[in-house]
């Protein structure tokens, strides 16, 4: 088999030998839209994370039988066109959960204890000049007993809830925005925001969740609240969030995702300079162990496809 990896750089140098037992593996660190046709024209299997594949590509790749998405989301693949062309599409779910959970609490812990500010103070010599043994210039707060609101209660949201409970937080599961009913064990979305000390977002980006955190909903949060987004950038209105942080309408935010990636210079969160924002470049998913599980999942999908077994097949 001829296997082509279109954006191998997203796999961060993790060992790809589990794929090599299936045939020849050709890797490209990055692939532009103009390069796709040439690179997949003889491929039997294409592995892609964020490279977009559509009907025009499938027409010019007659040997292509399987697309393995090196991620959970399949929005970069024209699924209808793949189905029409007889091309199977698989994804890998759940591989990044431990990594995203860890990143969520890394952002939250830094913000609640102001570690980033204290570390900067130490670099600038403030500790050396202290009249006492420590510095207490910035507030330090505990997760314990805080009302921890989770928006999106799938596998990731549930895993975050478990850790929050281990810290001693009071977990509140928010109902879907604009839902006409509140399921047992959940709280209406707007009501949950009004009582939140911490909000952690783990829902998918859909027409219903796009910009669900906007000027109006952010205004519902108490001024001491902290917002964490490791889900998708489009869920949060970035202009509104930057303004809420600037005006201290919101205490702090930790953000790993933006509406347009890679980040654009004019993005309001890129331009924001306040120290109540921690911004990371979409790395929550990308622990070494997580990517190793991803590659193993891709290999399992190829093996199952070739042997007619069960895969994480989308189409």
- CA dihedral for 37, 76, 99, 223, sign (positive or negative): positive
CA 267, CA 271: separation in Å to the nearest integer? Answer: 6
The reply to whether 191 belongs to the active site is: no
Query: Choosing from 117, 232, 238, 293, which is the catalytic residue?
Result: 232
Query: Choosing from 55, 120, 261, 289, which is the catalytic residue?
Result: 261
Length of the chain: 315
The reply to whether 282 belongs to the active site is: yes
Rounded to the nearest angstrom, the gap between the alpha carbon of residue 86 and the centroid of all alpha carbons in its chain is: 30
Burial class (CB in 10 A: 0-12, 13-18, 19+), 147: middle
CA 38, CA 144: separation in Å to the nearest integer? Answer: 55
Burial class (CB in 10 A: 0-12, 13-18, 19+), 309: exposed
Query: Choosing from 135, 147, 186, 282, which is the catalytic residue?
Result: 282
Task: For residue 186, give both structure tokens.
Answer: 């959940």
Of the candidates 40, 89, 97, which has an alpha carbon nearest to the alpha carbon of residue 68? 89
Structural contact between residues 68 and 301, judged by C-beta atoms closer than 8 angstroms: yes
CA 102, CA 264: separation in Å to the nearest integer? Answer: 26
Of the candidates 70, 106, 122, which has an alpha carbon nearest to the alpha carbon of residue 91? 70
The reply to whether 184 belongs to the active site is: no
Q: Find where tokens 């933006």 sit.
A: 258
> What are residue 288's DSSP bridge partners?
none
Q: Which residues have a catalytic role annotated?
A: 232, 261, 282
């Amino acid at each position: 088999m001829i296997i082509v990896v279109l954006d191998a750089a997203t796999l961060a140098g993790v060992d790809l030998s589990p794929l090599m037992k299936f045939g020849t593996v050709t890797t490209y660190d990055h692939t532009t839209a103009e390069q796709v046709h040439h690179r997949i024209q003889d491929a039997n299997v294409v592995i892609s994370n964020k490279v977009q594949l559509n009907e025009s590509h499938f027409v010019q790749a007659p040997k292509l039988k399987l697309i393995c998405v090196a991620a959970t989301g399949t929005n970069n693949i024209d699924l209808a066109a793949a189905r029409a062309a007889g091309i199977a599409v698989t994804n890998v779910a759940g591989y990044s959960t431990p990594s995203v959970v860890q990143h969520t609490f890394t952002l939250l812990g830094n913000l609640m204890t102001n570690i980033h500010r204290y570390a900067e103070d130490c670099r600038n010599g403030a500790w050396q000049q202290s009249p006492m043994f420590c510095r207490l210039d910035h507030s330090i707060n505990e997760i314990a007993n805080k009302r921890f609101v989770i928006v999106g209660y799938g596998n990731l949201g549930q895993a975050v809830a478990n850790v929050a409970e281990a810290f001693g937080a009071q977990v509140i599961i928010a109902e879907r925005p604009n839902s006409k009913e509140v399921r047992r064990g959940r709280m209406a979305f707007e009501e949950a925001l009004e009582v939140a000390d911490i909000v952690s977002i783990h829902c998918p980006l859909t027409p219903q969740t796009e910009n669900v955190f906007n000027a109006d909903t952010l205004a519902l949060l108490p001024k001491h609240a902290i917002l964490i987004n490791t889900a998708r950038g489009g869920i949060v209105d970035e202009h509104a969030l930057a303004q809420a942080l600037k005006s201290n309408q919101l205490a702090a935010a930790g953000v790993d995702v933006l509406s347009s990636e890679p980040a654009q210079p004019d993005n309001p969160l890129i331009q924001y300079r306040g120290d109540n924002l921690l911004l990371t470049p979409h790395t929550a998913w990308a622990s070494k162990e997580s990517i190793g599980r991803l590659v193993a999942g891709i290999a399992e999908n190829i093996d199952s496809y070739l042997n007619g077994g069960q895969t994480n097949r989308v189409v």
